Amino acid sequence: MAQATLNFPRGFLWGTATASHQVEGNNTNNNWYAWEQEPGRIRHGQKAGLACDWWGGRWREDFDRAAETHQNAHRLSVEWSRIQPAPDRWDEHALDRYREMLRGMLDRGITPMVTLHHFSDPIWLMEQGGWENPAVVTHFDRYVRKTVEALREYVTLWCTINEPNVYATSGYTSGDFPPGKHDINSTFRVLANMARGHAAAYHAIHEIQPQARAGTAIHYRSMKAAKSWFPLDGMVARQLSRLFNDAFMRPLMNGVMPTLLGRVRIPEAKGTQDYLGVNYYTRDLVSFNLLYANQLFGHRYYRPDAELSGTGFLAHEPEGMFEALKWALQFNVPIIITENGVEDAEDHLRPKSLVENLHQVWRAINFNWPIKGYFHWSLVDNFEWERGWTQRFGLWELDEATQARKKRPSVDLYAEICRNNAITSEAVAKYAPTVFGKMFPN
Ligand code: FCB
């Protein structure tokens, strides 16, 4: 049997990622709480409720788990609606609580990465039009300044906005997220305001903390023409990818955002990233189809023989990780994989998904691409937005009624990778034997 070690660079960040609304519990002052109260919005009418009860203190036991399994970093988000419960009010107790959590991380040898906006918004902000209203930029800037001042002692790695492209399209095109609109113009208005908000946050962070590293986490979805010989498939795949993957990123490069039919100038966004966070999950095939007018004539679907996650939500496509990193390279900044994972209650696919995705990361590193870290989604099962509790992304399983955690086999696999700073052939043979031959051909 091959003996091989796929090493990662010294100082590589190995962690997991979470988001406030998904893990804290008792968040009752944001748009997702309001959304959960509306019938038909969340699968089976489920609610975040106590979530993983981090606000009640269970972050301690979960950070213990992370540290004991050799993770050296964790990406969490802070909740705007807690820190600023009303436009004219800051909650110092909430900030104290976050300081305690971050100190708890550092005490355990875990480097924090803090996301300032991860899908959830204060209700008061949404009442003023949320991210459709240009006034959001000033509001976000104030909130970011307050938060960064308060947490600067513990954090230097900041993520301004998580997946602006998913926030804008899910909330304003498909309507799966609040506010549930179906309006392409609103989608681009939101995306442009998010780029402005990001730029304001970036500048604010650097004013307060010159040594900070700030960036965003973009959801990269690989899109491939279904029939390579058919030009229209290629055309719609490129157009969808340009709007979904590239639109938010362009102004960060050159100050101009492409929209459906035109462009918007956002000069203040130029050069506002110290790193790029990439969230990669899966890859689509795209074929031109007149029936999909509302999706710009692109029918997106998974490769028919691809292995699917528990509820069929994701296709296992590790090569798409390499494509995502190759795409990220054009922005000429260090790259961090800020999310990657799979929903898989039975832990059948996760071990394979972990090693095969990381194998692609390792390949990219061998081309000297500047990849600095990997955050697995997620540490423990948590509230999965409009899909509620039906999807299980955790390394640890959660019984949300009793709050009991149970280790899935992938925990030990990931622990070995983090501890060795490498994928060893032994670990693959032990935890993901079916991909051994593919990863280590004789
Ligand atoms: C990403 C989100 C994250 C989680 C994963 C599964 O799009 O950023 O909060 O829901 O998907």
Among 234, 387, 398, smallest CA distance to 314 is for 387
Q: Is 227 domain-assigned?
A: no
- Ligand 1 atom closest to Cα of 162? 8
Q: 377 CB under 6 A from ligand 1? A: yes
Task: Name which of 387, 237, 232, 244 is nearest 300 in CA terms.
Answer: 237
Mean pLDDT by 10 residues, the chain (442 residues): 90 99 98 98 98 98 99 99 98 98 98 99 98 98 99 98 98 97 97 98 98 98 96 97 97 96 96 98 98 93 98 98 98 99 98 98 98 99 98 98 98 98 98 96 85
In a domain, 93, yes or no: yes
Q: Tell whether 125 is covered by a domain.
A: yes
Print the domain residue range for 351: 11-220+311-407
The answer as to whether 348 is a domain residue is: yes
* Distance from C-alpha of 34 to C-alpha of 46, rounded to nearest angstrom: 13
Look at residue 442 in the predicted model and tell me its pLDDT: 81
For residue 365, the model assigns a pLDDT of: 98
Q: Is residue 161 in a domain?
A: yes
Q: Ligand 1 mean position to 372 CA, how many Å?
A: 20
249 domain-assigned = no
Atom of ligand 1 nearest to the CA of 219: 7
> Has residue 36 been placed in a domain?
yes
Q: Is 344 in the pocket of ligand 1 (CB under 6 A)?
A: no
Our answer on whether the CB atom of 342 is closer than 6 Å to any ligand 1 atom is: no
281 CA → ligand 1 middle, Å: 9
pLDDT (0 to 100) of residue 337:
99
- Whether 163 is in the pocket of ligand 1, judged by its Cβ within 6 Å, is yes
Q: Please state the domain count of the chain.
A: 1
Q: What is the pTM of this model?
A: 0.98
CA angle (73 as vertex; 69, 76 as ends), nearest 5: 110
Alpha helices by DSSP H, listed for 110-229, are: 123-127, 136-151, 164-172, 184-208
Cα–ligand 1 centroid distance for 22 (angstroms): 9
Pairing of strands 5-7, 13-17: unpaired
Is any atom of ligand 1 closer than 6 Å to the C-beta of 219? yes
Residue 273 covered by a domain: no
Per-residue model confidence (pLDDT) at position 1: 61
Query: Which residue among 116, 163, 357 is best mutated to probe the pocket of ligand 1, counting the most ligand atoms within 8 A of its Cβ?
Result: 163
CATH assignment at residue 122: 3.20.20.80
Pocket test for ligand 1, best of 218, 339, 350, 387 (most atoms within 8 A of CB): 339
